[in-house]
Amino acid sequence: MKPYPYYVSDATTADVIDCLRRLVNASGRAAEVGRRLWVAVEAGHLAIRTHPFSCAPLTYHHLPDDLAHEFATASMMILKGDLNYRRLVGDCEWPSTAPFAALSAYWPSPLAVLRTLKSDVIVGITRETLSDLDATGETWRTNRTRALIQARA
């Protein structure tokens, strides 16, 4: 989440609160999830915070000390989005088979990343998967038709 929109799809604190309100007022399972999230926020188990670094043109290798210390206390960090993924792995054209765990080892806590592929940067995939995707003839790295979830302890 960003203190102000840095990229077209960025969420701000107001966006997150609005989303939670909509979930709480929805019906069925969505309302149940919304209530659980709202209670977690009120109890301090889920924090909605921003930091100026979120909008800095730097990779996460340059995390300020205050964020690195805060993230180190998390049982799991979840990063979402193509830009956050690129910031995590240094926005370099690594070999696609380069180990995700090694390139994100500096991150101070267990980590999961969720992204829709919108750029050439990708790591941690097997040679077989890479070969299969390349064989489709599609621009699979950038055409937004593929998504990726990667995690490490």
Per-residue pLDDT of 103-124, as tens digits, reads: 999 999 999 999 999 999 999 9
Q: How confident is the model at residue 5 (pLDDT cuts 50, 70, 90)?
A: low
Per-residue pLDDT of 32-82, as tens digits, reads: 999 999 999 999 988 888 899 988 999 999 999 999 999 999 999 999 989
Report pLDDT for 10. Answer: 76
| Strand partners of residue 114 | 80, 149
pTM of the model: 0.82
Please name which of 14, 143, 20 lies closest in space to residue 82, comparing C-alpha atoms.
143
CB 16 within 8 A of CB 50: no
Q: Burial-class residue 87 by CB neighbours within 10 Å (0-12, 13-18, 19+).
A: buried
Please name which of 2, 7, 114 lies closest in space to residue 53, comparing C-alpha atoms.
2
Report pLDDT for 70. Answer: 93
Q: Burial-class residue 137 by CB neighbours within 10 Å (0-12, 13-18, 19+).
A: exposed
